[in-house]
Amino acid sequence: MNKARREQLAGIAEGCANLAAQLEDLKGEEEEYRDHMPESLQPSEKHEQAEAAIEAMDTAIEALGEAYSTLEDLY
């Protein structure tokens, strides 16, 4: 692989890391929102939606971490 393609891979890997960091921030905000819901809303659809969003972000963060590691091995 030539230098230009390695540099492109490094940039894409860095993008994955940046996206994962942004998702971590959003996940933290969603967790805070969920954790501060009044007890009357905890068995509600809003609470379930927050839980689902947190789980989805966890999955995406993990996938981005795996993509980063895979790309890092290439350059």
pLDDT per residue over 3-54, tens digit each?
999 999 999 999 999 999 999 999 999 999 999 999 888 889 999 999 999 9
Residue 61's pLDDT is 98
| Tokens at 14, concatenated | 């860095």
Alpha-carbon 62 to chain mean position: 7
* Cβ–Cβ < 8 Å for 16, 68: yes
Residue 41's pLDDT is 80
pTM: 0.88
Cα 24 to Cα 40: distance, rounded to the nearest angstrom: 27
> What are the structural domain ranges in the chain?
3-74
Alpha-carbon 66 to chain mean position: 11
Confidence of residue 71 (pLDDT cuts 50, 70, 90): very high
Residue 56's pLDDT is 98
| Signed CA dihedral, 55, 60, 61, 67: sign only | positive
Alpha-carbon 24 to chain mean position: 5
